[in-house]
């Protein structure tokens, strides 16, 4: 599946063509520091293989490669809540360092949000951002998300405790 946006930005189902581009792009501590600890660091060729194979089972897809001008630029996806939280999806995204500052993340989040609301019976998409990651907060706000909560002292990263800023996009409130 391919979702096309403006300026040669596309969301593409993960496939073998991404394999050799993924692990060198994803193996960056500057990316890992903004993501959950479950994100591998260092990010190896084996992690790339596992991620691509893992995502080939979803129909409809939930996780996409973000491409810019035909090259892998990053990733975007979500996890659906369980049980009584099944009307929620938690958004996550990252863009490789060579592509920072080009508006790719904002466009990808807009495309992805539209897709999720069209394909899934959910009511809200939320994203949690560490207090030091102002760039992702800006991306979410530009993409139509609004601040919902600040979870005080809710994470520990590299031995530092900090706040999580939660952003949300609710179906029909745009």
CA angle 169, 41, 165 (to 5 degrees): 25
- 89 falls within a domain: yes
- 142 falls within a domain: no
Q: pLDDT tens digits, residue range 82-138? A: 999 999 999 999 999 999 999 999 999 999 999 999 999 999 999 999 999 999 999
Q: With 90 as the cut, is the pLDDT of residue 56 above it?
A: no
Q: With 90 as the cut, is the pLDDT of residue 23 above it?
A: yes
pLDDT of residue 174: 66
Q: Rounded to whole angstroms, how far apart are CA atoms 24 and 6?
A: 26
- 6 falls within a domain: yes
- 13 falls within a domain: yes
- 139 falls within a domain: no
Q: Rounded to whole angstroms, how far apart are CA atoms 133 and 26?
A: 18
If you average pLDDT over residues 9-38, what whole number do you get?
A: 94
Give the domain CATH number at 107. Answer: 3.40.630.30
The runs of H, that is alpha helices, within 17-156 are: 19-26, 29-32, 45-55, 104-119, 134-142
Does the model's pTM come out above 0.75? Answer: yes
Q: Rounded to whole angstroms, how far apart are CA atoms 66 and 76?
A: 7
CB 145 within 8 A of CB 168: yes
- 131 falls within a domain: no
Q: Higher pLDDT residue, 174 or 69?
A: 69
- 155 falls within a domain: no
If you average pLDDT over residues 136-157, what whole number do you get?
A: 96
Percent of the chain past pLDDT 70, that is, above it, reads: 99
pLDDT of residue 158: 86
- 150 falls within a domain: no
CB 151 within 8 A of CB 164: yes
Number of domains present in the structure of the chain: 1
pLDDT of residue 5: 79
* 3 state DSSP class of 76: strand
| Domain hosting residue 80, numbered range | 2-126
Q: With 90 as the cut, is the pLDDT of residue 7 above it?
A: no
pLDDT of residue 92: 97
Listed in sequence order, the residues at least 6 apart from 62 whose beta carbon sits closer than 8 Å to its beta carbon are 55, 77, 78, 79, 80, 89
């Amino acid at each position: 599946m391919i979702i096309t946006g403006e300026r040669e930005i596309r969301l593409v189902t993960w496939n073998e063509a991404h394999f050799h581009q993924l692990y060198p792009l994803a193996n960056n501590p500057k990316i890992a520091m903004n993501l959950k600890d479950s994100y591998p660091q260092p990010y190896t060729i084996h992690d790339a293989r596992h991620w691509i194979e893992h995502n080939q089972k979803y129909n409809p897809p939930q996780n996409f490669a973000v491409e810019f001008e035909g090259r892998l630029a990053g990733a975007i996806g979500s996890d659906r809540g369980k049980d009584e939280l099944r009307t929620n999806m938690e958004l996550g995204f990252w863009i490789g360092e060579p592509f920072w500052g080009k508006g790719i993340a904002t466009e990808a989040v807009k495309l992805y949000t539209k897709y999720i609301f069209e394909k899934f019976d959910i009511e809200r998409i939320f994203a949690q951002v560490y207090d030091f990651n102002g760039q992702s907060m800006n991306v979410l706000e530009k993409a139509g998300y609004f601040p919902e909560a600040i979870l005080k002292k809710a994470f520990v990263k590299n031995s530092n405790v900090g706040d999580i800023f939660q952003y949300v996009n609710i179906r029909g409130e745009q």
